[in-house]
Each structure stands twice: as C-alpha cells, then as structure tokens.
Amino acid sequence: MRADLLFHQRIDYDDGAIVEMVLWRVPSPVPPSVHGLKYSLFYGRPGVREVGYDNERGKGDHRHFQGVETAYAFTSVEQLVADFWSDIRTLRGSK
C-alpha cells in the first residue's frame, strides 16, 4: 500500500519567505508516531528553515524553531496547523 497525498500548499511571500505544507495518509504509522499521517510543514527561506513540523522514522513528531528541535505532541491536523501558523506569526509579526 502506498501513501496518499491529502494536502499540499505552497505560499511564496514577497520578502522571499516560503510556507510549504504537505500531508499524506500512510498505510501504517511512521514509528514512533502512532497516527496514520506523515507530514512536513516548512517556513523559511531557501536553505534556511525557521519553523518546521514533521515526523520521520526514528524521531516521530517534532518541531524545529529557529534552529532548536523539540518533541511535538501531535493531537490533530487542525492543532498541528494552528501551532505552525502561530510560530510563523511570532516570527513575522504583523508583516
């Protein structure tokens, strides 16, 4: 069975910043995650990740914020996206 793409969006800002969000449904969880999703949320510039949320084999759900990686407690896609945009607003201010 293969992964099914559920959502993909890219936003390019005038100042060079990029938001890219990709979400897949996977046939089995990506260990140690326990949900059936694989995701990658990115905010930054080419070669520079300022904010990122993703889950990968061996690491599970985690967050990158200005160079610091921490575990992330995934509860729902809606909360994941809300947390991601909250971090972006923190960095961008009212831009």
Task: Tell me, rounded to whole angstroms, the distance of Cα 73 from its chain centroid.
Answer: 13
Higher pLDDT, 95 or 77: 77
What is the reported pLDDT for 34?
A: 92
Q: Give 31-80 pLDDT, tens digit per residue.
A: 999 999 999 999 999 899 999 999 999 999 999 999 999 999 999 999 99
Tokens of 18: 């990029």
How far, in Å, CA of 84 to CA of 51, rounded?
8
- The length of the chain is 95
Q: Give 15-27 pLDDT, tens digit per residue.
A: 999 999 999 999 9
Other beta carbons within 10 Å of 55? 22
State which H helix or E strand residue 83 sits in: helix 77-92
What is the layout of strands, in order, in the sheet containing 60-65? Answer: 4-12, 18-25, 37-45, 48-56, 60-65, 68-71
Domain spans of the chain, in order of start: 4-92
What is the reported pLDDT for 95?
A: 52
